[in-house]
Amino acid sequence: THQLEIRDLHVSVGDKKILNGVNLIVPKGELHAIMGPNGNGKSTLAKVLIGDPEYTVESGEILLDGENILEMEPDERARKGLFLAFQYPVEIPGVTIANFLRLAMQARKAEGEEVGFMEFYQKLTHALEVLEWPESVVERYLNEGFSGGEKKRNEILQMLMLEPEYIIMDETDSGLDVDALKIVAKGVNSMRGENLGGLIITHYQRLLDYIVPDKVHVIVNGRVVESGGPELAKKLDTEGYDWVKELAGA
């Protein structure tokens, strides 16, 4: 079974219950959008997927290709092919993009296996071409002095280099102008195919004009209350979230 499956997931932070039984199946090869009003657990889901220790999983399972990943450390999940693009990308002073990419690729290799220079360079050239970025950019320090658009483009660069099997993107569109949004979408779309699955989490429909999802799920009160095709995103865009809140009894 090549899929990301979330089974009856209950999550809390401190005394606060945030996810109340999320069920979701994303077959490899499909990108599903997660939408929903603010403060209803979308980012919490992303953080639990990547293994953020701040969130307590009360019950439920997350199966990656049939394997429960909840007991795995974040780096082990990454080696299994899971990739999270962060809502607020970090700055790492003194590390260039090129160094960071080399280290990140190396971290995914089995012990004793090296990232070859040619492999690295060919992938990098291809990725920079997709992202319409000059080669000199990789000598810049990671995220230092980057605009919002550059940070996002850098996330997609990491994604293209690491070739994950499942991606989790959380609010990748926030604060982006249309040109930056199109570049980000171009990068993601260039990876789409039977070897890529994942979740595109977004409050707004706008990103989904450029990355058309295979399915759309709506989270309210920490549960998936409605699922549908791309037309569901359009409906939420024109009609807002009130009707799904009612469905959820909120």
Confirm or reject binding of residue 111 to ligand ADP (CB under 6 A). no
Contact residue for ligand ADP among 9, 11, 26, 44 (CB under 6 A):
44
CB distance 225 to 247 below 8 Å: yes
CB distance 195 to 29 below 8 Å: yes
CB distance 131 to 46 below 8 Å: no
How far apart are CB 43 and Mg ion at their closest, in Å?
A: 3
How far from each other are the two terminal CA atoms of the chain, in whole angstroms?
Answer: 35
Confirm or reject binding of residue 13 to ligand ADP (CB under 6 A). yes
* Residue range at the interface with ligand ADP (CB under 6 A); choices 40-48, 76-84, 150-158, 188-196: 40-48
**Residue of 103, 11, 95, 100 whose CA lies nearest to 50:** 11
CB distance 35 to 219 below 8 Å: yes
20 vs 43 by CB, closer to Mg ion: 43
Residue 81, Cβ neighbours under 10 Å: how many? 20
Confirm or reject binding of residue 164 to ligand ADP (CB under 6 A). no
Rounded distance, CA 180 to CA 186, Å?
Answer: 10
CB distance 213 to 32 below 8 Å: yes
Confirm or reject binding of residue 38 to ligand ADP (CB under 6 A). yes
User: Binding-site residue total for ligand ADP (CB under 6 A)?
Assistant: 12
* Residue range at the interface with ligand ADP (CB under 6 A); choices 13-21, 69-77, 128-136, 189-197: 13-21
Positions 117 through 146 that interact with Mg ion (CB under 5 A): none
Positions 24 through 63 that interact with Mg ion (CB under 5 A): 38, 42-43
Residue 79 structure tokens = 């080696």
Cβ-count burial 23-44 (b if 16+ within 10 Å, e if not) = ebebebebbbbbbbbeebbbbb
Contact residue for ligand ADP among 4, 6, 9, 18 (CB under 6 A):
18
* Residue range at the interface with ligand ADP (CB under 6 A); choices 41-49, 101-109, 132-140, 143-151: 41-49
Residue 49 structure tokens = 């997927």
* Residue range at the interface with ligand ADP (CB under 6 A); choices 36-44, 90-98, 109-117, 173-181: 36-44
Confirm or reject binding of residue 88 to Mg ion (CB under 5 A). no
Contact residue for ligand ADP among 24, 32, 33, 41 (CB under 6 A):
41
Looking up tokens 């296996």 gives 113
* Residue range at the interface with ligand ADP (CB under 6 A); choices 42-50, 119-127, 139-147, 228-236: 42-50
Phi, psi angle pair for 180, to nearest 5°: -65, -40
Which residue of this chain has its Cβ atom nearest to Mg ion in the complex? 43
Give the interface with Mg ion as residue ranges (CB under 5 A): 38, 42-43
